[in-house]
Amino acid sequence: MTRLTNICIYITILTVSLLSLTPLDAHAQSKKRIKIETTDSVPFFNGLSASVDLVGIVQKAVSDYGQYEAALRVNLRDRYFPIVEIGKGIALHDYDPVTGIKYETSALYGKIGLDFNVMRNKHDIYRLYIGGRYAYTSFDYDLVGPDIKDPVWGGEAHWGGSKSPCKYHWAEAVVGVDAKIYGPFHLGWSVRYKARVSHKDGEIGKPWYVPGYGISGTSQLGVTFNAIFEI
């Protein structure tokens, strides 16, 4: 009886082992199948978008400086967005209406960078970006004031200068959002922290306004509001 009992025990253990392995194997196959089914089918190159910044246009209309800026952005798998921004900055500023001193400049600028969509569902109609830009401009400015009269010897002396050349390099840290409104039309905004990397001031002093950067200084905050058309 003891030998028969041992044989029965061995058969029971073997049967239980085989039965316990079957669901594990089925579960593993199920996991493998789920992984295959959720593979991202979005192509690497997923389109282009063109945009125009509206803040700079409004700023130029209501103040003595502003810019006109457009951008072209590439969509890579709805996650990575290389971007090029090109604009023209314009300023005509009266330092003091009493003294009559004026600052004037108008020049192109360019930026290149990358945005990263941090949304968990990267295919959503809403996108939240973090990114960066490298920017550069080379421009001339005029600083003009009224002629100064010599109270002793008489006559007038000209004060100021024109076509004073400058260069500015800066970097931008960007946080932005855009949302699909209808069809290919999107709206978006961004906040930017601008930090000057290197610069060359003009011969007659520091420029008051830098195209694309804003009021000159070591750092600057900026905002954009974009009308976007996706292709």
Q: What is the DSSP string of the chain?
A: -HHHHHHHHHHHHHHHHHHHHHHHHHHHHHHHHHHHHT-----SEEEEEEEEESHHHHHHHHSSEEEEEEEEEEEETTTEEEEEEEEEEEEEEEEETTTTEEEEEEEEEEEEEEEEE--SSTTSSEEEEEEEEEEEEEEEEEEE-PPEE-TTT--EE--EEEEEEEEEEEEEEEEEEEEEEETTEEEEEEEEEEEEEEEE-BTTB--SEETTTEE-SSEEEEEEEEEEEE-
18 confidence band (pLDDT: 50, 70, 90):
very low
Asked if the model's pLDDT at residue 38 lies above 90, the reply is: no
Higher pLDDT, 11 or 228: 228
Query: How far is residue 168 CA from its own chain's centroid?
Result: 18
Of the listed ranges 69-78, 87-96, 103-112, 133-142, the one predicted with least confidence = 87-96
User: Residue 139's closest CA among 60, 213, 196, 59?
Assistant: 213
- The reported pTM is 0.79
Asked if the model's pLDDT at residue 96 lies above 90, the reply is: no
Report how far apart the first and last C-alpha atoms of the chain are (Å, whole number).
Answer: 82
pLDDT digits (tens, 9 = 90+) for 174-212: 999 999 999 999 999 999 999 999 999 988 889 999 999
Higher pLDDT, 174 or 156: 174
Question: What mean pLDDT, rounded, does the chain reach?
Answer: 85
